[in-house]
Amino acid sequence: MMPRWKGKGLQAKANADPMSKIVSQLQSSLIQFETRGLLSSCSVLVEVDAELADLLNRSCFGRPRITAQEDKQWFQLDMEEAFYLCFSLKCLKVIGEDGSIKSNEELWDYFKSKKLVFPVSYKVYSHLRHKNWVVRSGLQYGVDFVAYRHHPALVHSEYAVLALSEGDNDLNGRLRVWSDVHCTVRLCGSVAKTLLTVIVNSNNQVANSPSCLEHYTVEERTITRWNPERSREDQTGPKNGTKKV
């Protein structure tokens, strides 16, 4: 499926403003201002000035919260987003309710306690973010994430992402039965997205600390429905088996 840009010239605009650069600027600014986040249930709240707010918006981390404050803005980060800024980009520190800064291990344990599949979903989130895709929650589509080629204002998301793990300890439990495959593929199709499964193999690592992540391996697969009524023409000739069916 080709990317669907939302307007003329937006692809050029995206090319002129690469996401990697925006994220890098965000990282520098967060470090410069020694930004602290507040741990709150399943979110991390950060208070930022206008410049950082702009960078958070452009890099698609967090959601702004409406407040009466004029000079500062509050953003709410998901667990994966917060941990990415803390652990992968090392540009954010998070404070717990006791007022002390949480270590990465403490954050890891905390997030795992809130979400059993956090190690797997984080691995998938960071895997795609490292490739400079914009990754947002896919809850409204019944999946874990949606992945955009750039800012959602410029382009529609192409992929609906399910974070799956291999083996007996798959807590996600998705796509175990055909009805779920039918349902998910159909829903993705109706919103013009391809279903992407990102399968995480823990390689027998116990998820005690975030250092286990580097031993996880990841494989991407798309699941698509083939419609025999639509694919009858063979345009490439009998011997060439490369036509995509």
Partner 1 sequence: MATHIAPLRKLWALHVLDGNDIHLSLKELYEKLSNGKSGCYWELFEVYKHLRSLGYVVGRHGIPWSVKGQHIKSGTCSLEGSQESNEMLEMEPKDENSVIELFNNMQITDVSPAFNVYLPNSKFRKSSPGDPSFVLYISRCSPPSRVEIEALERKHGAIPFKFCHVENGRVSFFSFAKTELPVLP
Residues that bind partner 1 (CB under 8 A): 15, 18-20, 128, 131-133, 147, 149-150, 159, 166, 175-178, 181-182, 185, 196, 199, 219-229, 231-234, 237-239, 241, 243, 245
Query: Are 74 and 49 within 8 A, CB to CB?
Result: no
107-to-25, 28, 84, 91, 101 alpha-carbon distances in Å: 24, 22, 11, 14, 10
Pick from 201, 222, 225: nearest CA to 213: 201
Burial 20-59 (b: 16+ CB within 10 A, else e): eebbebbbebbeeeebebebeeebbbbbbeeebbbbbbbb
At its nearest, how many Å lie between partner 1 and the CB of residue 127? 9
Within 8 A by CB and 6+ apart from 78, the residues are 42, 43, 62, 137
Catalytic residue check, 148: yes
Minimum CB distance to partner 1 smaller for 95 or for 181: 181
Catalytic residue check, 131: no
At its nearest, how many Å lie between partner 1 and the CB of residue 162? 12
CB half-sphere exposure, 61, CA atoms < 13 A: 36
Given 84, 148, 159, 216, the catalytic residue: 148
Minimum CB distance to partner 1 smaller for 93 or for 149: 149
Given 123, 127, 150, 193, the catalytic residue: 193
Given 13, 112, 115, 156, the catalytic residue: 156
Catalytic residue check, 123: no
Minimum CB distance to partner 1 smaller for 1 or for 42: 1
Pick from 107, 85, 100, 106: nearest CA to 35: 85
Minimum CB distance to partner 1 smaller for 114 or for 221: 221
Minimum CB distance to partner 1 smaller for 140 or for 242: 242
For residue 16, the tally of other CB atoms under 10 A from its CB is: 7
At its nearest, how many Å lie between partner 1 and the CB of residue 138? 15
At its nearest, how many Å lie between partner 1 and the CB of residue 137? 18
Measured between alpha carbons, how far is 171 from 151 in angstroms, rounded to an integer? 31
Active site residues: 148, 156, 193
